[in-house]
Structure 1
Amino acid sequence: MTLREFRLPDLGEGLTESDIVAWRIAEGDSVELNRTIGEVETVKALVELPSPYSGVVAAVHADAGQTVNVGDPLVRFAVTPDAGAPAWVEDDAPEPNLVGYGSRPEHAGHPVRRARHAVPPAAASPCVR
């Protein structure tokens, strides 16, 4: 069994926090991938949170009515990898990045640019007139 943390995602346009409106889960509940586990409210919208894992809810880290910052842990799941599980359930694989959930934690912050490779002058094509 592997424990996986689900953190409050960036719900859009640089919002830094959300209020927990309600949970649809409790510790010990079994959940399926993409099942709605709770609702959060930002200054712009009420958003349903889908579960990024199939498994058992091991812990709920925030209470209804609490304000949570982006990146703070919300729920811990106990995930049992099996032969039919997606590759990302394995210990060495990265966590899923759901659409609209911002960057993965290891890429949070400023965007990473690829290094530019200069073309040597001898390899540049000559101008033809």
Structure 2
Amino acid sequence: MPYTHILVAVDLTEECDPVIKRGRELAQANDAKLSLVHIVEPMAMAFGGDVPMDLSQLQQQQFDQAKEKLEAIKLKYPDVKAGDSHLTYGQPRQEIHQLAKEHHCDLIVVGSHGRHGLSLLLGSTANDVLHGAPCDVLAVRLIKPTN
């Protein structure tokens, strides 16, 4: 059965290009809709939730920077329509699963660094997204360039 709506989860680094390209290829081959998502994790989560200062201004700066980077990606990939990119706060696994359900996505594409060993096969976000996903998940192996 062909895919009808593909959701590509991006981290907004240059490493996300192969992930977007794979999502685009699959969308074109299946005549499917293509959407992008980036999740900005709350800074308190990164610090274990116990932070003795107000991080709201830093959090807003992080969100604004993510918005600019996502806009730049949309310029680079014009086949991603204006309403088909999503930027939100939260825990990546939960937000990606929720978005996939809400928008009836039948494939989520994520990047994976392919670390050694079975337990490190997927990066933490890719591994999280895989478990409990409401649809198929494709992990695109990311290879770091050698200098």
* TM-score (norm: length of structure 1): 0.28
Higher helix fraction: Structure 1 or Structure 2? 2
Higher strand fraction: Structure 1 or Structure 2? 1
Name which one, 1 or 2, has greater alpha-carbon Rg. Answer: 1
